[in-house]
Chain A
Amino acid sequence: MADTDTRPQRGVGITGIGVVSGCGRGPEALFDAVLAGRPAFGPVTRFDVSRTGTGHAAQLPEVHGLASELVEVIGGALRRARLDRDAEPSGVVAQTPVLLAVHSDLRIADVTGQVAEGIAERFGSQPPCRVYTGACVASSTAVADGAAHIRAGRHERVVVAAGYLVEPDTFAVFDAGRALSRDGAARPFSKGRGGLLLGDAVAAVVLEAVGAARRRGVEPLARLSGWGGAGDAYHVCRPRPDGEGLARAIGMALRRAGAAPEEIAYVNANATGSPLADPAEAAALRRVFGDGVERLPVSSTKSVHGHALEASALLELIVTVLALNTGRLPVNAGFLEQDPECRLDLVLGEARAARPGYALSVNSAFGGANTALLVGAA
């Protein structure tokens, strides 16, 4: 990375974060857990799981309803960005678009309506201007769109929020599809992995033009240096085994940032513990980084916080920002034994110190959808 910051002020920063997850409330609880490699999975108590093959998930002990939790984390992100009404009475929040990622089900109209009411009442915000429903890349797609708006000069700041709370219908359908791990753990990239485990996550970030933030006296937590999206064009739900689509998405993110592969110091992987998908992701990383992948620290923190579906990409972006800021890399928990098809430099056992560089967060979903978000120092 260059010593002299010649990057244009239309660069996109992340100035606020708010999050609750199965690890607890707030970013500290989340980051402590991922640094310790301490999985948050436990017996599901929120609903009856006696008819499913697994009974584990990463759940908060108490939740207040998805819409209510979304309004709260948006408030947390605005406070951190000093955009709450106390710090910014000018009403700038009313002009800040909100992009929302949630699961598409029979409740979506109610949830989005309640979020709209809540953010109007609490923050003076307009209703969410776009709702993203694209499964595991929904919130990363929203982040990329938000960044595109800022880079193009259409907005100075955008709020991106996403939420998923483990509930009976998705739990049952994932179980019916044999996607859930049955040994109580999620084991990304490990031999003996048996699928994913679901987890609660409700998260929000404030994306802001770096110059606009600094004019307000706010220093971004990190810079969203690059983003990219590409498809596999391969299958309804299986990824391309050679990882070509994800590799293209990563390449787009690197090109936007003007970053070379060797400048990437950490990858927060999508890997869910899927027998088929984890090797495809390893192949994608090898396509991009070549032999350098063997010296590139990688971890999937789904091994700790679980898979939060539409909210997972945003949750993992927040983890990636915290890793970049602290220089400490989260653990890839649940690991048993190396899988020859997933030969990566996994962060195992304990957190690792990071070398200077960018941090990359990648996500993949049904339909061959792939996204990559590249985070750099502010």
Chain B
Amino acid sequence: MLARACWPEPADDGAAPPAVPGFIVSSFNPLVIEVAERCLRQVFGEPPAAEPRRAAGVGILLASAGGDQGTARALAEAVAAGARVPPLLFFQSNPNAVLGHVAARWGLAGPVISLGPAATGRGETPEQTCRLSLAEALTAAAVLIGDGDAREALVLAVEQGTVPGAAGDRAVALYVAGDG
């Protein structure tokens, strides 16, 4: 493991992750972007990441048992009420989208993989669930690197709190590399 970053850290002091233009209503995507940013800066400094040949071998994996519940709830409520669905929800309607944002910003051109609930189930708290999701993502990263489509990987686990909003949100980002 080359780097690790978390949300929240003590310095975050209860604040929400910075808003990101183009992503609305939910803390999920800003959380992914912020924790990825904290991790990648440790490895590469400023974006873009390494020279293109290295960057082509960096995969991005995200595991989340709950997924982007903020977006899913906003969409479900709008549909149930017969209200207009904000078009921006389409662009964040699946977890690959935010990974594409990270990949584009940092030039990471390896495989992009999103995972759901681990077979080990959910924890009793977002923190516990986040740990299980991280283990899930790390296992998948090992398969990816072992099989050869990536040499390194940004591994993310994100879980939103049970109350809509930033409180209780948890995220971890690791940057890992294969042995070879």
Residues of A within 8 A of B (CB): 51, 102-106, 108-109, 112, 126-135, 137-138, 141, 144-145, 148-149, 151-152, 168-170, 172-179, 228-237, 245, 248, 252, 365-369, 371
Contact = CB atoms under 8 A, between A and B. Distances in A.
Contacts of A236: 22, 91, 97-98, 100-101, 104
Counting chain B CB atoms within 10 Å of each CB, which of A229, A233, A252 scores highest? A233
B111 A369 contact: yes
Give the bracket for the number of chain B residues in contact with chain A: 35 or more
A106 B89 contact: no
B94 A176 contact: no
- By Cβ-Cβ distance, the 6 closest A-B pairs, closest first, are A177-B90, A367-B100, A367-B96, A131-B116, A229-B111, A104-B67
A70 to B, nearest CB: 14
B125 interface: no
Contacts of A234: 100, 103-104
A104 B114 contact: yes
B94 A129 contact: no
Contacts of B94: 103-104, 133-135, 365-366
Contacts of A175: 85
Contact of A233 (B108, B114, B122): B108
A268 B22 CA distance: 33
A177 B78 CA distance: 14
A374 B16 CA distance: 44
B110 A231 contact: yes
A294 B32 CA distance: 42
B104 to A, nearest CB: 5
Interface of B: 22, 55-56, 59-60, 64-69, 72-73, 75-76, 78-79, 82, 84-87, 89-91, 93-101, 103-104, 106-119, 122, 136, 140, 143-144, 146-147, 149
A368 B69 CA distance: 23
Given A130-B136, A135-B96, A168-B79, A152 B109 contact: no
Contacts, number: 192
Contact of B99 (A128, A170, A245, A367): A367
24 contacts: A103-B94, A106-B69, A129-B119, A130-B140, A131-B116, A131-B117, A138-B114, A145-B140, A152-B146, A169-B79, A173-B93, A229-B59, A229-B112, A231-B111, A236-B98, A236-B100, A236-B104, A365-B96, A366-B96, A367-B96, A367-B103, A367-B112, A369-B111, A369-B113
A109 B60 CA distance: 23
A102 B85 CA distance: 22
Given A141-B113, A145-B140, A173 B75 contact: yes
B143 A368 contact: no
Given A106-B73, A369-B99, 4 more contacts: A148-B143, A176-B86, A236-B97, A369-B113
Nearest to A102: B116
Given A127-B119, A172-B78, A104 B147 contact: no
A227 to B, nearest CB: 8
A34 B130 CA distance: 43
A177 B111 contact: no
Contacts of A130: 115, 118-119, 136, 140
A366 B143 contact: no
B111 A176 contact: no
Nearest to A229: B111
Nearest to B107: A233
Contacts of B87: 176-178
A106 B71 CA distance: 10
Contacts of B84: 176
Nearest to A108: B116
B75 A172 contact: yes
Contacts of A178: 87
A141 B95 CA distance: 14
B90 A141 contact: no
Nearest to A141: B113
A177 B93 CA distance: 10
A367 B154 CA distance: 15
